[in-house]
Amino acid sequence: MEWWPIYLLLGAVVGFFAGLLGIGGGLILVPVLTFVFSARHFPPDRILHLALGTTMAAIIFSAASSLRTHHAHGAVNWQVVRFITPGIILGTLVGATLAGMLSTRFLSVVFVAFIYYAAAQMLLRFSPRPSRTLPGRAGMFGVGGVIGLVSSFVAIGGGLLTVPFLSYCNVRLQHAIGTAAAVGFSIAVAGAVGYIANGMAQPVPLPPYSLGYVYLPALGWIVLASMLTAPLGARMTHVIPTAVLKRIFAGLLFLLGTKMLAGLF
């Protein structure tokens, strides 16, 4: 079977939502790549690691494309990016290192739990107090560390944590999404480096054309499509309300999480 159309379709969907909602798309990419890699009979105990690593590498490109469009709309708070990025990078590298030491089953359980959390937080709306503001540098560093750690574990660009955090601090939604795209780029770069390094250090043979835990053929097709659709999603963020699309996306996450959970048992 030729797998490139699946990778291409995945990239198109992920790129669009990366631009629209400021998310990396890992919550779609990781489960689907896990199913595909299983069908291709990749080493069973390395399948999820390959899916996570490939996803982090793909997010680099979709986040960069989304970031460029959001920046053109003046929707990126670069001061927030500057304060939160050091913690993001440290947390992401630590998380990627720990993920390489954990079993596929454990990572799958963590990932499914996070899928359900992400879907629930998309459906629920919380109104922060009007006086709520962003924390200082130390607080931003700490928040960045937590976001980076969790994001590297489940291969997301950080938007599903960064956007709610910034909204909780009364940052305008469009600006929270644009800033999350910039944060997601930092997470993706650090996470991809971590997964490549850890994959190359493993004694278990990996599939041909793998760079550590990054499977290059899948990465190439996903990136090709996501670079085209991410700017479209980013432009639509500033044109249409995203409430309906968030509900649809949350429903998709529940379905993917349930299917992945069923596969564990």
Q: Give 133-138's long-range contacts (Cβ < 8 A, gap of 24+).
A: 133/169, 133/170, 134/80, 134/166, 134/169, 134/171, 135/169, 137/83
**Residue 116 backbone class (left: φ over 0; alpha: ψ -120 to 50; beta: rest):** alpha
DSSP of 104-125:
HHHHHHHHHHHHHHHHHHHH--
* Integer CA distances (angstroms), 169 to 67, 159, 187, 265, in order: 21, 15, 21, 40
pLDDT at 142: 94
Per residue in 84-133, pLDDT (tens digit) is 999 988 988 888 778 767 776 777 787 788 778 777 877 776 555 666 78
pLDDT at 59 over 80: yes
Summarised one tens digit per residue, pLDDT across range 64-97 is 888 888 898 898 999 999 999 999 889 888 887 7
Backbone angles phi, psi at 210, to 5 degrees: -100, 140
**Domain span including residue 51:** 4-264
CB distance 169 to 36 below 8 Å: no
Residue 159 CA to residue 140 CA, distance in Å, equals 15
Per residue in 214-251, pLDDT (tens digit) is 999 999 999 999 888 988 888 887 787 767 767 777 78
- Copy the structure tokens of residue 11: 């990239």
Over residues 27-41, mean pLDDT: 88
CB 164 within 8 A of CB 121: yes
In angstroms, the Cα distances linking 26 to 38, 71, 81, 126 are: 17, 22, 21, 24
Using the 8-state DSSP alphabet, how is residue 46 labeled? G
Contact call for residues 70 and 76 (beta carbons, < 8 A): yes
Q: Find out whether 63 and 18 touch, Cβ atoms under 8 Å.
A: yes
pLDDT at 233: 84
Which of 37-42's residues contact partners 24+ apart within 8 Å by CB, and which partners? 37/215, 39/1, 40/3, 40/207, 42/206, 42/207
Amino acid in position 9: L
Instruction: List the helix and strand counts (H, then E) for the chain.
Output: 10, 2
Count: domains in the chain: 1
